[in-house]
Structure 1
Amino acid sequence: MNRHVKFILVAAILASLGFALAAIGWRVHLVQNLGLTLRPRPLAPFILLAVPAVLALVLWRAERHLAEHIPGVSEENPRHLQASLVFAFVFTALCTAWMGLLYVAARPPEGAQVVRLAVGLLGLTVALRGGLFAKLAPPALERPFDRDAWTRAALRLGWGAVGVGLVLIAAAALLPLKALFFACLAAALALVMLGLALRRAVRAR
């Protein structure tokens, strides 16, 4: 793993842990020392602390994956994996900070614009990565498989992801929040279906 990438990932883990500990400590101070009455959130501390733990586990597994040189999507898979990790870790750290703010706030701040910005950023990332994925070479697998079928499925996945990303950007700007939630679910389902089609193409012979 690139050392600069690892530095960013470790920094995101430490930031998530710092946000979690700060939120939990500040909540204890507000309730125990200042006597404020806050909305009960019994699961919030466990969720906040679980986030950096899960990120650390993902980083450990990703390092092993890259060190073992397991064939992936293509020879360029390590670069794509690291780019995905950077976005996911930084995005998750920001989400942890937002969850921590909600945990200590007597009245949750207006989050509509934050939600729209997060969905728009997610859509942009999906679109950019889809465009790159569509240009990747076939997998470096030892066993035989239909390379032409994989190429066609990869093109569908890549450009389909571009379309999903653009739809998410438009939805973030135009849809009400409730409808935006269902749009995100539909986008996730579409990506999963495209990914399953690609896996079938890899297994087919």
Structure 2
Amino acid sequence: MTDAPVTVLLRAWQAGEASALDRLMPVVYAELYRLAMARMHGERSGHTWSPTELLSEAFLRLSGARTDFQDRAHFFAVAARIMRRILVDHARASAAQKRGGRVRAVTLDEQLIGGGRPEQLVALDDALAALADVDARKAEVVELRYFAGMTQQEIAQAVGVHVNTVARDLRLAEAWIHRQLLEAD
């Protein structure tokens, strides 16, 4: 799948062409489902969300979003961010109910991003939000890598920087987030 068809359909959909959404969904569904599966991988057993339900909720939020999607990469980055937000909100509610809202810090690694306990996801989200306050681009690079599953080359294209900058941003952001998680513990 190339960028052009998705980008063209996104722009037509945003321009109000109702049939564009019907043509867009079959083109992007498999990739959106892969993102949902990746988000759900490693979640605790008995999680209340299935990948299909996560995808459905994310699509509802995407369809109501007032985002000017620039291209395919931007669309999938927003979709991944929405899925993360859904799971983090669920984790926050779960942690608040079960543990009085107490959150425990954890380290940053791909297994954690994929699952674990709700309080781990909340701690990571808090650290990522703090990073966004300090350096928005580095936070976006982390989101695109760990939550959207993009390669460094794809991130470089989406963010508009060189791939070496992406690699450097990832190293610095991971160290910063790790320090934040340790300080929070």
TM-score scaled to structure 1, two decimals? 0.32
Larger Rg: 1
So what's the TM-score if we normalise by structure 2?
0.34
